[in-house]
Amino acid sequence: MSTARLYYITKTLLSYGLDELIPKQKIPWYAKIARGSLFWLRNQHKNKPAGLRLRLALQELGPVWIKFGQMLSTRRDLLPHDIALELAFLQDQVEPFEGELAQKIIEKALEISDINQLFSEFSQTPLASASIAQVHTAKLVDAHNNSQDVVIKVIRPNIKTQINADLALMEKLAKVLANVHSEAKRLRPVEVVKEYKKTLLDELDLMREGANGIQLKRNFEGSDSLYIPAVYSDYSRSNVLVMERIYGIPVSDTESLIAQNTNMKLLAERGVEVFFTQVFRDSFFHADMHPGNIFVSREHPENPMYIGIDCGIVGTLNKEDKRYLAENFIAFFNRDYRQVAQLHVDSGWVPPDTSIEEFEFAIRTVCEPIFNKPLAEISFGHVLVNLFNTARRFNMQVQPQLVLLQKTLLYVEGLGRQLYPQLDLWKTAKPFLEDWVKQQVGPLSVMKQMYANLPFWAEKMPELPDLIYQNLKRSPQMQYSQPSKVSHKALVLSLLGSATLIVSALCYLQHDLIAAGITLAASAISFIAAWRNT
């Protein structure tokens, strides 16, 4: 299966003449020999523009490749304008399958003999067609005989077989690369493909997408920045998803946005804020934010709101990754490159024997030129090349858990460039991240953690006297068994200080400020006395 698929991929790429897009001087001699050996595979579309040939080739290869083209479409600083425009069609204008077949899939999934049993109207002509599924409009009749405008998302038939074949081939190629090329091993292709596989297969389960949409909607309930359509879970299955229909302007339609006097600067800034809010506040972010999945509400153009759809791919970060990322961003914003270097070593992203001084200098060389410039003046392509060279020099490894975040950052930057090229990405994000870090390491964070542990402390408080008594009872025996550097009196005072500190926190959380102040003072006195007796 993999060999046949590999030949099909090679045949498709060569028949669309994509090898001709690579400058001849960049092609190694062995690649030229390999190309010559496939002499019967010639360019069959010489009269078509390069961008169209690339789009058609990716579209013919299927969803794994279409997803790649979708990401490239947002990188207009890396691609010629005509190619970027063609790839943009991959976002929601992939060739659809038959509407009649979609209707049969819906009827089978919902176990109904006729679609009119649940939907008073159903359009067999797709509203949009993407790499994994396509969307049809309908009117849902609920239990109270009310009609709701909805869209029905339907997974493409037999799509999983094709995806598995491509992923199996990618896994084999990743293993070969990791074993034969030291540079590829550093990039951890096996782990990256494994993470991509999990993400792509998760996207095939529309029940998971529905749950993701419900979570995101709850996270931004009442927000002026982002709206997520409602999901009708009772009418959804693993291959069919029924959602509220939205009527917004595609975020890529800048002419319509400008025509309705949309505040483009605020819209671009909110895109950045929404991303960082999802990542750092919620640890749950929409990881497929290409322009085909993002709309802008037609209401209140002076106070624009995003509408996000297609929540099949979401990302999460653990507490340690979030903190390291936030501290890295802030250090970048403050141009504290030594802190950036140190954080990379502390997080394990570069080897522990890395020279902090050399790494700091390399990061400064790459990043210093980009600050205090609007997006339109920043060559991120050049920056990415330099960062890659820096990573190779210091053996920085790709972090699979951050792949989705990195991809989403590319989308956010692409959207920002398209909406408001003068947007200062750093200036917009810095205050948000500084506030987040303060919340994580400041007194408010301590109180929140104490409040979260309140049920545990309340349960263990009755046991505290017994624990103190047992510890005191063991102390004389421990003095004979081994030398002790801490006096008996200091130990008692430390335990007393800890106990009164816990009581003070409990009193504060119960809004008994007088008792909290008294016990806090007692705790401080106990700790000072314990310190003096050590």
Task: Name the residues annotated as catalytic.
Answer: 288
The C-alpha angle with vertex 490 and arms to 488 and 495, in degrees rounded to 5, equals 100
The tokens describing 300, both together, are: 């209140």
Say how far apart CA 367 and CA 372 lie, in whole Å: 11
Say how far apart CA 282 and CA 272 lie, in whole Å: 15
What kind and span of H or E run contains 138?
Answer: strand 133-141
Asked if 206 and 241 count as a contact pair (C-beta separation under 8 A), the reply is yes
Say how far apart CA 284 and CA 26 lie, in whole Å: 41
Q: Where are the alpha helices (DSSP H) in 81-222?
A: 81-88, 99-109, 159-180, 182-186, 189-203, 206-219
Of 248, 247, 245, the C-alpha closest to 147 is 245
Q: How many residues does the chain have?
A: 534
Q: Where are the alpha helices (DSSP H) in 334-396?
A: 337-346, 356-367, 380-393
What kind and span of H or E run contains 250?
Answer: strand 248-250
3-state secondary structure of 141: strand
Say how far apart CA 297 and CA 457 lie, in whole Å: 47
HEC string of 149-166 equals EEEEEEECCCHHHHHHHH
Say how far apart CA 162 and CA 63 lie, in whole Å: 8
Of 77, 122, 66, the C-alpha closest to 99 is 122
Region of residue 27 (left: phi > 0; alpha: psi -120 to 50; beta: else): beta
